[in-house]
């Protein structure tokens, strides 16, 4: 029994130590290490985040934007109290109506002046004919000319009053347009399509112009920002496609991305790279656009394999 055991051990040692088997083992290990493509860069996903702020002052009457909600551009998500604005608008409407009434009165009076002037012109023509026939006196003609000059001044004053009233109406119309614009801005209209990331206000709160209300981002396409060394820069260009790899419970998942931007200047490796040697290296930032199938999240890490 012991002879068989010793013989097996000798056979095993011979197999392991034989150069052919050692070389075979090395080749197997090397081939296993090169089972997949070498990663060219690492980075994190990001999205264009838009912070929506209030464009009016007042109490929020209602606000429906919820974190995680998908919104379309043009959706109404809230309303800021417009009571004061409507009261001011009604006041301006009343002022405009009063001025328009004055304009109507002045126009009517101007019409009377025009009628009086026509009568005086007829009377003047008659008096001039009588004066030629020595049936009237020069004084009568002078009186008619004086009355005509008075009517001309009265009509000129009426035209001046009408011009001033028109200017007042234009000022009021401009103020009404401003109030209408302010009322329109009191409605919270979502400007871009995307997903609500954060909500900063609640119904019933007092808000002010420029105060953030919520943050939104279009997650249908994500940006992956990575950094490459200078010797890799000549191998890529804007518009190139690349393979994106992300971690999943079942291993690496591959996606396709397209290079949309390459930094024109070098910078030091970001601080998120912890090793000292890598932090002092100069690198170039590269941004890739990756269609999101729902698995990509902001700040998620990923690997990039550039197609060469």
267: nearest Cα among 225, 298, 206: 225
Residue 29 pLDDT exceeds 80: no
pLDDT computed for residue 32 by the predictor: 43
Query: What class does CATH assign to 50-80+188-217?
Result: mainly beta
CB-based burial, 150-161: b 16+ in 10 Å, e otherwise? ebeebbeebeeb
pLDDT computed for residue 273 by the predictor: 54
What integer is the mean pLDDT of 121-137?
A: 87
Paired with 251 in beta bridges are 248
Q: How confident is the model at residue 8 (pLDDT cuts 50, 70, 90)?
A: very low
User: 3-class SS at 91?
Assistant: helix
What integer is the mean pLDDT of 50-54?
A: 97
pLDDT computed for residue 279 by the predictor: 53
- The fraction of the chain above a pLDDT of 70, given in percent, is 84
Q: Of 26-35, 82-91, 175-184, give the lowest mean pLDDT range.
A: 26-35
pLDDT computed for residue 270 by the predictor: 64
- 253, two tokens: 């998942």
- 116, two tokens: 């009086």
What integer is the mean pLDDT of 121-126?
A: 89
pLDDT computed for residue 271 by the predictor: 57
Residue 52 pLDDT exceeds 80: yes
CA distance 295 to 7: 58
Q: How confident is the model at residue 188 (pLDDT cuts 50, 70, 90)?
A: very high
Taking all residues of the chain, what is their mean pLDDT, rounded to a whole number? 85
Residue with the larger pLDDT of the pair 12 and 47:
47
pLDDT computed for residue 258 by the predictor: 96
pLDDT computed for residue 200 by the predictor: 97
Residue with the larger pLDDT of the pair 198 and 308:
198
CA gyration radius, the chain: 43
Q: How confident is the model at residue 16 (pLDDT cuts 50, 70, 90)?
A: very low
- Domain 37-47+219-306 matches domain 50-80+188-217 at the CATH topology level: no
pLDDT computed for residue 7 by the predictor: 45
Domain ranges of the chain: 37-47+219-306, 50-80+188-217, 83-186
What integer is the mean pLDDT of 129-134?
A: 86
Sequence-ordered strand ranges (E) for 123-203:
187-189, 194-199
Residue 33 pLDDT exceeds 50: no
What is the tens place of the pLDDT at every residue in 155-187?
899 888 988 999 999 999 999 999 999 999 999
CA distance 282 to 292: 30
pLDDT computed for residue 10 by the predictor: 45
CA distance 36 to 253: 13
What is the tens place of the pLDDT at every residue in 265-286?
888 766 555 454 555 578 899 9
Number of H helices, E strands in the chain: 6, 15
Q: Of 5-9, 74-78, 235-239, give the lowest mean pLDDT range.
A: 5-9
Entry pTM = 0.67
pLDDT computed for residue 78 by the predictor: 97
**CATH T-level assignment (fold) for domain 37-47+219-306:** Elongation Factor Tu (Ef-tu); domain 3 (2.40.30)
């Amino acid at each position: 029994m012991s002879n068989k055991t010793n013989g097996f051990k000798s056979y095993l040692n011979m197999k392991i130590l034989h150069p052919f088997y050692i070389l075979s083992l090395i080749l197997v290990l090397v081939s296993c290490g090169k089972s997949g493509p070498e990663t060219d860069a690492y980075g994190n996903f990001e999205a264009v985040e838009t912070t929506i702020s209030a464009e009016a002052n007042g109490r929020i009457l209602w606000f429906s934007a919820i974190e995680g909600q998908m919104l379309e551009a043009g959706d109404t998500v809230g309303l800021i109290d417009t009571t004061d604005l409507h009261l001011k608008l009604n006041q301006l409407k009343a002022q405009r109506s009063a001025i328009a009434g004055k304009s109507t009165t002045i126009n009517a009076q101007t019409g009377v002046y025009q009628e009086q002037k026509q009568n005086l012109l007829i009377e003047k023509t008659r008096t001039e004919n009588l004066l030629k026939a020595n049936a009237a006196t020069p004084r009568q003609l002078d009186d008619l000319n004086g009355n005509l000059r008075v009517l001309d001044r009265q009509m000129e004053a009426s035209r001046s009053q009408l011009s001033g009233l028109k200017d007042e109406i234009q000022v009021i119309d401009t103020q009404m347009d401003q109030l209408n614009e302010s009322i329109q801005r009191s409605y919270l209209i979502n400007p871009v399509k995307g997903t609500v990331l954060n909500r900063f206000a609640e119904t019933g709160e007092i808000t002010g112009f420029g105060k953030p209300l919520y943050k939104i981002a279009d997650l249908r396409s994500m940006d992956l920002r990575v950094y490459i060394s200078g010797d890799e820069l000549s191998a890529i260009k804007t518009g190139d496609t690349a393979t994106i790899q992300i971690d999943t419970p079942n291993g690496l998942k591959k996606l396709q991305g397209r290079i949309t931007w390459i930094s024109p200047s070098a910078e030091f490796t970001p601080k998120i790279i912890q090793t000292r040697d890598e932090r002092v290296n100069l690198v170039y930032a590269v941004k890739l656009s990756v269609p999101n199938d729902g698995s990509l999240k902001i700040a998620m890490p990923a690997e990039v394999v550039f197609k060469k």
